[in-house]
């Protein structure tokens, strides 16, 4: 039983962001097309999305994620906002990634009305 859904959810998201998948994925798939890449990782991606769906269900039950958000949407959205920007950008706005994750998590919460 989760006693702190807010803290657990944020801890989970921070752990996923910490994997820095968005950093190396472009290099892995650069120059490939969907017909080549998708079948190679389809089984692993489906298994990962099923696990993510379980975590999302807990967050949805706690009112932290809108019920309409799918595991795929969550995963791609998080990957996009955590993709590293050029180093010069970090000089202009420190902690941009953390700020974007905060904005993203607020944006996927259920609407108030």
Q: Looking at the domain assignment, is residue 90 inside a domain?
A: yes
What are the Cα distances from residue 108, in Å, to 23, 57, 64, 83, 105? 23, 13, 8, 18, 5
Domain count within the chain = 1
Quick one: which of 89, 52, 94, 92 has its CA closest to 74? 52
Does 97 reside within a domain? yes
**Residue 113 counted as domain residue:** no
In a domain, 58, yes or no: yes
What is the span of the domain harbouring residue 77?
Answer: 5-107
DSSP 33: -
Q: Residue 102 domain-assigned?
A: yes
Distance from C-alpha of 83 to C-alpha of 41, rounded to nearest angstrom: 20
Task: Look at residue 83 in the predicted model and tell me its pLDDT.
Answer: 80
pLDDT score for 33: 60
3-state secondary structure (DSSP) of residue 32: coil
Q: Where do runs of H (alpha helix) occur along the chain?
A: 5-18, 21-29, 34-61, 71-81, 87-92, 96-107
Check residue 79 and give its pLDDT.
Answer: 86
- Supply the pLDDT for residue 38: 58
Nearest alpha carbon to residue 78 among 28, 9, 1: 9
Tens place of pLDDT per residue across the chain (113 aa) = 668 889 999 999 999 888 877 665 555 556 556 556 556 566 777 888 899 999 999 999 999 999 999 999 998 899 888 887 777 776 777 778 888 899 999 999 998 65
- Does residue 112 lie in a domain region? no
């Amino acid at each position: 039983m989760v006693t702190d859904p807010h803290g657990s959810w944020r801890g989970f998201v921070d752990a996923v962001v910490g994997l820095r998948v968005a950093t190396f994925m472009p290099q892995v798939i650069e120059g490939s097309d969907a017909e080549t890449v998708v079948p190679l990782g389809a089984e692993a991606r489906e298994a990962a999305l099923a696990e993510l769906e379980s975590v999302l269900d807990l967050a949805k039950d706690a009112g932290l994620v809108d019920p309409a958000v799918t595991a795929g949407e969550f995963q791609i959205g998080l990957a996009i906002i955590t993709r590293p920007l050029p180093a010069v950008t970090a000089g202009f706005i420190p902690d941009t990634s953390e700020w974007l994750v905060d904005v993203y998590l607020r944006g996927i919460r259920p609407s108030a009305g």
